[in-house]
A and B are shown apart, each in its own frame.
Chain A
């Protein structure tokens, strides 16, 4: 099983999971069409992405 397959399987099993990338899509190129708005590409902003992930996990 590839990383991407495991990621999709895990995310589909738990709707609380949101997948984020700082525009590093090569290994997750099939995730957007499977997860829709639960896939968030923040652009090349790793520093901010970590904070945003903390906010998404907060509630």
Chain B
């Protein structure tokens, strides 16, 4: 990746974070899990996926992205808005039932391949699409993003077992490893480590990277072997920080869903740009 491209993606990621922070006003959003996967979203849509979203009607030869951890939809829609696929003025409707942008990923939004929010389902759907692509002879790549807490769900591991049995090496499972499930650290509730070893024991090819480092993301995705039906699925564990970009809420168990006031949002935007220290302590911001 050229320095110019890197700077462009970093700039896009910063603006996506601004969208996410603004969406935490007017009722709130899952801000922590959204901020942790910004670089992942921006990298995938800007550099990796042949999504064709800029070409109008969907192309069956496209790559597919399934956002199984649907709570982080502000990151997805923020990315769509920055890339010109979604009118940014709709982002403030995210808690309005009058707009299909409401609350969780919805197929009515161009670019969303499948509804999500209830955890543990889209790895299986993605595996179905991967098998369909295989049967029809396409070279589509299918990416599914899960949370780490989502790995509690048995359906994820069922999918991995079967996808590896079917040698669906066109399927790429990315874990946003931000160390938290909703209200508690994963390792304090249902420990996942050693996570890479678990995937390898199931027959997956595993890479583990810093999910905020765009160069590492590029290297990981560029190193994926060409899918030819001979291997297990590809797993990329992206180590991330919940709430990344806002030190006052980073890696905190009580900053899962946050409903900030407009004044607090303005402070957080300042903090994002490093202009001043902001500590948000109000308990009323926390929804459990």
Contacts and interface: CB of A to CB of B under 8 A. Distances in A.
Interface of A: 18, 37-38, 40, 42-43, 45, 47-59
Contact of A47 (B125, B130, B158): B158
20 contacts: A37-B135, A43-B162, A43-B165, A45-B158, A47-B124, A48-B123, A51-B121, A51-B124, A51-B128, A51-B159, A53-B128, A55-B124, A55-B125, A55-B127, A55-B129, A55-B131, A56-B131, A56-B132, A57-B128, A58-B113
A52 B165 contact: no
Given A42-B162, A45-B161, A47-B155, A55 B135 contact: no
A50 B143 CA distance: 19
Most buried by B among A18, A37, A52, A56: A52
A50 B158 CA distance: 12
Contacts of A45: 158-159, 161-162
A18 B62 CA distance: 22
Contacts of B159: 45, 48, 51-52
Interface string B140-167: 0000000000000011001101100110
B155 A58 contact: no
Most buried by B among A18, A45, A49, A59: A59
